[in-house]
Amino acid sequence: MTISSIFQPRPSNPSVGLWGLPTSSVNWCESDYTITFYIAEFFNSCSSLCMVSFGLLGQWSLSYLSKNVNSTPRPRRPDPEIYDPLQEHPRLIGVNRIWLTWFALQIVGWGSVAFHGSLQWWSQAFDEVPMVWTAILHLSTGLVGRYDPFPLATSSSSSSQTESKGWVASYLVPQLRHSTGIRSNGEPYTPIITATFLAHAVTCSLLLTLFRGPSQFVIFHILFGSVELAGFFLTYTISKEASDPDHPRGVGYIKGCHSDAVYKSLLQRHQKDVKTLHKRGLWFYCIAIGIWSTDLNFCEYISRIPFIYPSLNLEGFEWVYTTFNPQGHAWWHLLVSIGFYHLGILVTYDRMLAGYRTFWGGVERKEPGCLELLKEEKVKGRIVGRKGDVPVIEWIYGLIPVVAMWRPHVYR
């Protein structure tokens, strides 16, 4: 396998389509303009909509964050209205930033549609630049959940401070702090993290739009790959920590809120779901990368796969011998979208757990920022959320993971 195979001179194409000769730094294995005059790579372009679809699915999954999945199938009366301090202030648990990550994935999909539809250098940048920003948003969401679930103030209400932050702090990298254990104490080092992420993203954006040819392809995969590897390491860390039932980043904060049997059940659910999300996401990613590499480097052999099919015409029945291209890059779009969705839900789940764990820890320590969110005038007659409430993974139809809330039946 040699990556140099993608840099071979392009053969002359007598049937150039609407967008003219390709000017992108890479041309994939699908033949150009064979389906329609208007789209260079028909299957690759159409399959890019998978990323748009999974981005929309990710945004839809956020509607489950406040739903109680511990309800009985046929409750005698509807669930009471609950005042959940963190659900009341979604910015504190990073919902806006998570929403923006899924939105960025949709932009990647549309950029990929433009890239494969035209094979021009400008559309390639439209595909690759959003990929960098999406990966950075995904990574920063996980890092914030690890080190500073929400920037609660130590001496005054956090709500006003959170609202006054700029878009970078609110959406990309909110205030990170040196962390001891799971507590968010210490001096803030937001400028360093913010500058690092922004410099990386801006550098990638400039290089991808200024460079042409093979150098642009290599530069993109080096800079983008570094963020992807960091994201993989982050999800691996989340999965590894879940194996330890006593790890402070798990669901141990609700241990004294339920009976041993209930807590053990929730702990096992936590461990199983984290492992499942990580394994599925990683497997889909690895399979997708293998297909992507094969399609890229062995196109000469793949496009010659023999294929026989029956044909019935005026002259009678006959067997037609031709070649078959399995459209590997189109499968890459589907599989990598599924993998990213699973890992994105894993990071979202870890982010929610960190928020609730830190909030209730702050309530026990009587931190002003946490106590401010529990003031009586904020409840307005609703039942106040409890420490025993915990985010969980819910599997829609047994296949689609979403993050929801598990609340005890005591609310009834």
Burial class for 184, CB neighbours closer than 10 Å (0-12, 13-18, 19+): buried
Structure tokens at 399: 């296949």
Q: Report whether 377 belongs to an annotated binding site.
A: no
Q: Report whether 41 belongs to an annotated binding site.
A: yes
Assign 401 to helix, strand or coil. strand
Check: CB of residue 238 under 8 Å from CB of residue 274: yes
Burial class for 99, CB neighbours closer than 10 Å (0-12, 13-18, 19+): middle
Q: Report whether 116 belongs to an annotated binding site.
A: yes
Q: Report whether 30 belongs to an annotated binding site.
A: yes
**Could you give the CA distance from residue 148 to residue 150 in angstroms, rounded to a whole number?**
5
Phi, psi dihedral angles at 310 (to 5 degrees)? -80, 145
**Could you give the CA distance from residue 193 to residue 350 in angstroms, rounded to a whole number?**
20
**Could you give the CA distance from residue 177 to residue 239 in angstroms, rounded to a whole number?**
23
Structure tokens at 141: 């969401």
Nearest-10 Cα torsion for 80, 82, 87, 89: 140
User: Which residue's structure tokens are 């260079």?
Assistant: 40
Residue 83: partners with Cβ closer than 8 Å, 6 or more residues away:
378, 379, 380, 382, 383, 384, 385
Phi, psi dihedral angles at 370 (to 5 degrees)? -75, -40
- Cβ burial 207-243 (10 Å sphere, 16+ → b, else e): bbbebeeeebbebbeebbeebbeebbebbeebbebbe
- Known binding positions: 28, 30, 41, 116, 329, 333
- Known binding positions for Zn(2+): 116, 329, 333
- Known binding positions for Ca(2+): 28, 30, 41
